[in-house]
Amino acid sequence: MEIKTRKEVDREQQREGWVGVSKLLEELEKDLTARAAGPAERKAPSGKEAILEVLGRAADDHKFLARLAENPSKVLREYDLSSEERAALASGDIKKIESWVGKLDKRMATWLWCRLQQESW
């Protein structure tokens, strides 16, 4: 019986098209580390601009959307938002958000609909 090293198994799985969970986690950690340094490098938008940035990023970046779903209060601290704005985004309060930024299209409402679906009734 042939015993393979972890690297050999990884290479074999990669050739076959497998993506290991540990690899995905490593990539996610690198991405989170890189993004943690990002906001300090530029002036963060506030108010309406920050809300639109969060919603746009959630619509376009599945990793950000996953982080937002897991811990919205932590993720939203990266943005210059009032406590009321954070609460509305965290809870998925579409009416309140649209009163601040105007009618949202389907793309921009992605996070809000995801958040509302997470609620248990």
pLDDT in tens, 48-61: 899 999 999 988 99
Q: What is the pLDDT of residue 92?
A: 87
Between 107 and 18, residue with greater pLDDT = 107
* CA angle 41–30–23, rounded 5-degree value: 165
Q: For tokens 């580390």, name the residue.
A: 33
Task: Please state the domain count of the chain.
Answer: 2
Q: Is residue 87 part of a domain?
A: yes
Domain coverage including residue 17: 1-36
**pTM exceeding 0.75:** no
Three-state secondary-structure class, residue 33: helix
Residue 71's CB is within 10 A of a number of other CB atoms, namely: 11
The reply to whether 12 falls in a domain is yes
Q: What is the mean pLDDT of the chain?
A: 79
Residues 57 and 18 in one domain: no
Question: What is the length of the chain?
Answer: 121
